[in-house]
Structure 1
Amino acid sequence: MSTILISGLVMGLGATIAMDIWALALNRILGIGLPNWGNVGRWVAHLRHGTVFHDNISDAAPVPRETTIGWIFHYVVGLIYGAILALIMGSAWLAAPTFFAAWIFAIITIAGGWCLLHPGMGLGWFLSKTPTPWKNRGMGLLAHTAFGLGLWGTALVLA
């Protein structure tokens, strides 16, 4: 069990790094903006006051080190997702990981953003309050595909 859990945490780390490399590549090649981890950190910090949903997270009071909080949250969530996948799939899958299982799981994990984080920051359910919701949803699916590739690729290295 502990080997599976450690493998999952390493997979989550590798997958989160893959997602960040994807975002950086899009930024450098196409000029697409990088994720604003400061806003995520602000949202996380306001949770301790019982505020889950904001009309616009930019209007919420800034908190010290919000960007650091956002980055830490991003990586903790990635580690947790990796551990969950490893625990669900078990040692047989870890010995011979398949892309499809990692990809489906990664696509499912976008629900956390679409149904909690984004509405919490004032972006609406499934990014419905953004200027280009379908484009943003598509970009999210691509980012989570990169996450799935990272899960699978890291699992392959560990196998």
Structure 2
Amino acid sequence: MADHTTTMLIHATVIGTGATLVMDAWAMLRKRLLGVPALNYGMVGRWLAWLPRGRFHHQPIAATPSVRGEQAIGWIAHYLTGIAFAGILLGLWGLDWVRQPTLAPALIVGIGSVAAPFLLMQPAMGAGIAASRTPRPNLARLHSLVTHAVFGVGMYAAGWAARLIAYPGWSLA
């Protein structure tokens, strides 16, 4: 039987990956239905690749020279971030949450995760705090909040999937 840490890591990986997949599906649907372009995770990869070179802030990131492998770096970081936030969910609510997933904790962490782009990623990439330097900051903020709420719903759904995998004798009721 796996120890507690291993069990937490496995559940965080399943839940975080599942929730990130839901978020990405939402981005594709949003693009198709609303014409809102999906995020370019290559820009995240570019930002991360420049960190070891001593560059944290970009004005804007698109003007910074590209880096080989930035798309892969960005997508890997995107999924690892989803796993990390699932780890936060499990760290706060414990493995009991996987045994009986509830929506509120997943939404709290999902919506709370919007602090990362608002306070770290967007300012570092030249978009300002909470997209304040973008052409339509309020619309950008709304899209971010909705997307992170969808991520929270994704954690809830992936929590149920993890429960059914880890505790197959349990029903959905």
- Shared fold, TM over 0.5: yes
What displacement does 1:5 show? 2.4
Matches for 1:29-108 after TM superposition, within 5 Å: 29-108=33-112
Q: How high is the TM-score relative to the length of structure 1?
A: 0.96
2:12 aligns with: 8
Q: 1:58 is matched by which residue type in structure 2? A: A
Q: Aligned residues, how many? A: 159
| Distance in 2 between residues matched to 1:93 and 1:30, nearest whole Å | 34
Q: Is the 8 A contact 2:45 2:77 kept in 1?
A: yes
Q: In 2, Cα distance between the equivalents of 1:43 and 1:3? A: 32
Give the aligned residue type for 1:72. I
Of the three residues 142, 145, 150, the one matched with 1:141 is: 145
When normalised by structure 2's length, the TM-score is 0.88
SS at match of 2:94: helix
How far is the alpha carbon of 1:4 from its aligned partner?
2.4
Q: Does 1:19 align with 2:23?
A: yes
- Unaligned runs of 5+ residues in structure 2 are 164-173
Q: Write the letter of the residue equivalent to 1:69.
A: I
Gaps of 5+ in 1: none
Runs of 4+ with deviation above 3 angstroms: none
Q: Distance in 2 between matches of 1:92 and 1:147?
A: 20
RMSD: 1.0
Higher relative contact order (CA 8 A, sep 6+): 1
In our comparison, the structure showing a higher alpha carbon Rg is 2
